[in-house]
């Protein structure tokens, strides 16, 4: 069974409200340019793209300049913000583990390590399969990975800060692990003129190996290529659906 799309377990209203602010340091323009170049070098005639787990639409907005673009997102709170920012883009609500938009695309992508939120290997295979079914023959599936079981770190204290005149945010967590799950128990301290609020949100993220990608892409009838750097410096999996 897929998750109830009306009950996402992460990126609820409080986090969605500050999501764009806490990632103020992220170079979306550079990542968008990487994806466009990746596609143009392999599929120069590509015109359509589906952005899976699109969040608030920060990649989608830029990619829509190069492609006829749609987005897919599970969190209604994130979708609300994506639609407000980009009213000309079609954003679909759905679970990346099991979705059917009744069409195919030249390119399907899953960026910003979002694939890790499927958690389990069974869900991972289902997700790769669902995305591959939306790729036209000869088209591309692009997936930015999270850390592997060997490269994930534990016991590090991480902190990000935002300091604006009327908005202060401190975001902190300690990286933990349970088997092949990376655990981030996120604490957010948000200060506004109206007061200071604290809330938490736990992210459990699957740690998948290169072999997991090889087997899932092969099962989905995709020829696999690997870029060691990728848009975020952690690698990039490029699958081409066989004709």
Give the whole-angstrom CA distance, residue 83 versus residue 142: 23
What are the extents of the domains in the chain?
A: 13-148+208-241, 157-206
Give the whole-angstrom CA distance, residue 29 versus residue 62: 7
E strands present in 144-242: 157-164, 167-178, 181-192, 195-206, 222-227, 236-241
Q: List the chain pLDDT tens, one digit each, 243 residues.
A: 333 334 456 688 999 999 999 999 999 999 999 999 999 999 999 999 999 999 999 999 999 999 999 999 999 999 999 999 999 999 999 999 999 999 999 999 999 999 999 999 999 999 999 999 999 999 999 999 999 999 999 999 999 999 999 999 999 999 999 999 999 999 999 999 999 999 999 999 999 999 999 999 999 999 999 999 999 999 999 999 998
Domain 157-206 has what CATH class? mainly beta
**Domain 13-148+208-241 belongs in CATH node 3.40.50.150:** yes
- Give 229's DSSP letter: S
Q: Supply the pLDDT for residue 9.
A: 63
Length of the chain: 243
Q: Supply the pLDDT for residue 4.
A: 38
DSSP per-residue letters across 68-103: EEEEEES-HHHHHHHHHH-TTSEEEE--TTS---SS
Do 13-148+208-241 and 157-206 share a fold?
no
Q: Supply the pLDDT for residue 13.
A: 93
């Amino acid at each position: 069974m897929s998750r109830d799309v009306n009950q996402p377990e992460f990126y609820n209203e409080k986090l969605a409200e500050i999501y764009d602010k806490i990632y103020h340091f992220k170079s979306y323009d550079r990542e968008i340019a990487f994806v466009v170049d990746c596609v143009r070098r392999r599929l120069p005639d590509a015109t359509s793209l589906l952005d899976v787990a699109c969040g608030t639409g920060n990649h989608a907005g830029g990619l829509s300049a190069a492609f006829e673009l749609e987005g897919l997102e599970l969190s209604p709170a994130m979708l609300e913000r994506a639609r407000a920012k980009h009213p000309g883009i079609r954003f679909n609500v759905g679970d990346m583990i099991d979705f059917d938009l009744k069409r195919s695309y030249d390119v399907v992508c899953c960026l910003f390590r979002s694939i890790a939120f499927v958690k389990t290997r069974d869900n991972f295979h289902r997700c790769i399969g669902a995305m591959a079914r939306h790729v036209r023959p000869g088209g591309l599936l692009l997936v930015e990975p999270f850390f592997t079981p060997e490269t994930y770190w534990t016991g590090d204290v991480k902190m990000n800060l935002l300091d604006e005149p009327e908005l202060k945010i401190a975001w902190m967590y300690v990286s933990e692990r349970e088997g092949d799950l990376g655990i981030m128990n996120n604490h957010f301290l948000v200060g506004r003129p109206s007061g200071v609020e604290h809330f938490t949100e736990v992210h459990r993220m699957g740690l998948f190996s290169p072999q997991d990608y090889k087997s899932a892409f092969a099962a989905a009838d995709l020829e696999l290529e690997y870029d060691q750097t990728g848009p975020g410096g952690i690698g990039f999996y490029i699958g081409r659906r066989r004709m």
